[in-house]
Each structure stands twice: as C-alpha cells, then as structure tokens.
Amino acid sequence: MNQPARAATDRCPGVFDTHPAADGALARVRLPGGRIRPDQLEVLAKAAAEHADGHLELTVRGNLQLRGITDVEAVAEAVVAAGLAPSSTHDKVRNIELSPLTGRIGGVADARPLAAALDDALRADPAAASLSGRFLFGIDDGRGDIAARRPDACAVLRAGTSPAVDGPVVADIVIGGVAVGSATGPEAIVRALIAVAAGLGEVAPGAWRVRDLDADTRLRLEELTASTLDPAIGDDPDAPPAFREPIVGWFDQDDGAVLLGAVVELGRLPARLAEFIAAVQAPVVFTPDREILLCDLSEGVAETVVRVLAPMGLIFDAASPWASVSCCVGAPGCSSAHAPVREDLLQRVREGDPPDEREHWVGCARGCGSPAQSHVSVEATPDGGYERRRR
C-alpha cells in the first residue's frame, strides 16, 4: 500500500519563497556541498547588512539563511545576480551535502565534481522541481562523514574499485543508510541518486523523506533502485559517530596548502566578518556542523587571517564551547518558542561548565536545526524551564 502523503504543506523556505517568521521574512540560500566563492559571500554579506538583520545564519545542512528581511525582492535579486539561485523552479531542491574536506584532505577521491554534476543534473530535470525541499542528497568521498548523517540518497565513493588507476569512480548508492547497489562513473552515479528521488515519488507520492516511509514502502524503494544497479561493494555505513572532532583550527592540506576551520557564536556570522572572510579571496566551505572552512591558503595568508579575524569573532579554537553547542533562533524570532534560546545559550556558555558532548538548544519540540549525529537536546518547555534529552 502506498505511504500516505504528508498532510501538511512543505514550508521549507528558499530564496523566492521566504518564511514569514516572527522577526520578519527568512530566506534560505542553498549552497550545494556548502561551497561558496568569495565574491558570492561578499554579495550575501552586503544583502544581510542592507536588507536583513546583519547576519548570515549557518544551517545544519551547510546552507546560509538571512533573517528579518525588510526587502525580499532586493535579497532575491542579489542572490540571483551572484549565481547562488540559478533556477527559481529548482531553488529548494538543491540540497546536497558533500564531505567538507574532499579534494583537500583525505578521502578516496575528490568528490567535488560529482556534487557539481548532481546539481547540474537536478536543475536540468523538470521532474526534480516537484521534490520536497527537505529531501537530502549526499556525496561521501569514502570517509563516511556524510553517509553517517543518513541522507535520503547518498553516493559513497569506494576505494580500490576502479578497473584502472585512472578508471571511473565507483560508488555505493545508499538509501537512508542502507546500501542497495553500486554505480560506476559520474553519469551513472548521478542518475542513480536522482532515480532514488523519483522512486520516492513513485512509491509514496507526497512523502518528504525516506525516513517518513513505513518498512514495506521503504523496502519497495530499495528494491526499485537496486534493480537498476550493480551489487553493493561496501557494508552499510556505520552508526553515526557520537561526537566527531570539530574541523576547527589549522590543518595541512594534502597539496601543502593550509585550511583554516572556524566557528562563530550562535552559528551567526556577522555581515562585517563575512565581508572580511570574502576579502581573503579563498574558497569557503560551510559544513553541516556549522563550521566555516577557509581553503587553499598559503602559510603567510593563514597566519594573517588568524591574526585579523580572530579578534573579530572568528573562533579557531577547537576547545571553544561554540565548537560543540548550537541552537535554533528561539524567542522572539520564532513565535513557537517557549524561551529566548539564544540568550539562554549565551548565558550557559559564559557561566556553565564546558560542554563535554554535543548540545543543541531549541525553543520547542520541533527541534529545528538538530544535528544529525547523537547529541543532547536541550528543549525549552512551556513552564519556562529546559529539558535535557539524549537523541
């Protein structure tokens, strides 16, 4: 029997379809793979300063949000002009997580071209426009970081499986954490990922995500996809790690360049600081753990970046509490919130014990922005308190 469609409308915000939050319109800018060019970041920083609350909010999928927007059209125009929303019909479906360090540190292969090919193919596919804005694609370069987050459709690159040294890349296709088969070559891999999304619409019209399916329907989706693939090569991905080391600090890239990882208070990047990051003229990656990576730096530039940007609020210390806590907007920005979550988390960080595990603070049971990995949820309750729960 088909899975019933979700009763509620998918109200995921985008650039053209903003969310009317209590503090004004909210726009989400999808960054496939979390990647953004310096000139694009500069445009977003300017839009945030001139038409929103002066910050770029980092999301749990490596995207950016602008809140408190006073001129929705001006923001959309700026985002489009920067090439960050190349298609109004497909704006909200470009949800692609990519191993943040791929092509620079470790991994089986550089998975960036695969993520770009998936984005191109998605935008070229008219049927993909009807996908839920919540459906999540993943490209894992073999280290397991993205697969552990259980995207709906994930390609996991496999080592030593190419028929020749420079042979085509091979990936397992993993649906919601279950490897169903493998595909060889970028085209076949991209085709397989999009087929999972199409298959979801076939077995459960209106469903948003694979995890919404009951066991029978999920099995049908797995079988439908597997019938078009070669047998899977690797095992199913391991359970998500309880707490991965933050990518925060100074890292040596495989090519000898330097990668700097940083976090910011409350996952909010002030527009002025974003402008300074853009001025470094280096590729930037926003990770699903709300980290900001400045890549391909020389040692001299990296030293200058730390010296100039650390006093402005960019935190390069992996031991900082801000590397392991996060929160939703809470009150007054969200009308559903039972508490001023940001203020309370600021106080907790200033006055409480250092967190020894991942914490996510939320203003109500919806749990917006919760990390994919195991964490402690600190949820505001209607009586004004907070409840801690392991998730």
Residues that bind ligand SF4 (CB under 6 A): 328-330, 334, 336-337, 362-364, 366-368
Q: State which amino acid sits at residue 60.
A: V
Q: Which three-class secondary structure state does DSSP give residue 61? A: coil
How do strand 96-98 and strand 137-140 relate by DSSP bridges?
parallel
| Residue 112 vs 358, nearer CB to ligand SF4 | 358
CB of 61 to ligand SF4, least distance (A): 15
| Residue 21 vs 195, nearer CB to ligand SF4 | 21
| Residue 135 vs 361, nearer CB to ligand SF4 | 361
| Residue 205 vs 385, nearer CB to ligand SF4 | 385
With vertex at residue 321, the alpha carbon angle to CA 41 and CA 302, rounded to the nearest 5 degrees, is 45
Separation between Cα atoms, residue 122 and residue 245, nearest integer Å: 32
- Transcribe 217-234 into DSSP letters: HHHHHHHHHHTTSBPP-S
With vertex at residue 382, the alpha carbon angle to CA 381 and CA 385, rounded to the nearest 5 degrees, is 45
CB of 104 to ligand SF4, least distance (A): 33
Residue number of the CB atom closest to ligand SF4: 363
Note whether 66 and 44 are within 8 A (CB): yes
| Residue 88 vs 336, nearer CB to ligand SF4 | 336
CB of 380 to ligand SF4, least distance (A): 7
Tokens of 149: 């987050």
Residue 257, class by beta-carbon neighbours within 10 Å (0-12 exposed, 13-18 middle, 19+ buried)? middle
Residues paired with 390 in a beta bridge? 376
| Residue 253 vs 336, nearer CB to ligand SF4 | 336
| Residue 13 vs 177, nearer CB to ligand SF4 | 13
| Residue 18 vs 217, nearer CB to ligand SF4 | 18
Element (H, E) at 236: none
How do strand 249-252 and strand 258-262 relate by DSSP bridges?
antiparallel
CB of 246 to ligand SF4, least distance (A): 23
CB of 207 to ligand SF4, least distance (A): 22
Q: Which three-class secondary structure state does DSSP give residue 385? A: coil
- Transcribe 115-148 into DSSP letters: HHHHHHHHHH-GGGGGS-TT--EEEE-SSSTTGG
CB of 345 to ligand SF4, least distance (A): 12
CB of 219 to ligand SF4, least distance (A): 32
Helices vs strands, H then E, count in the chain: 8, 19
CB of 330 to ligand SF4, least distance (A): 5
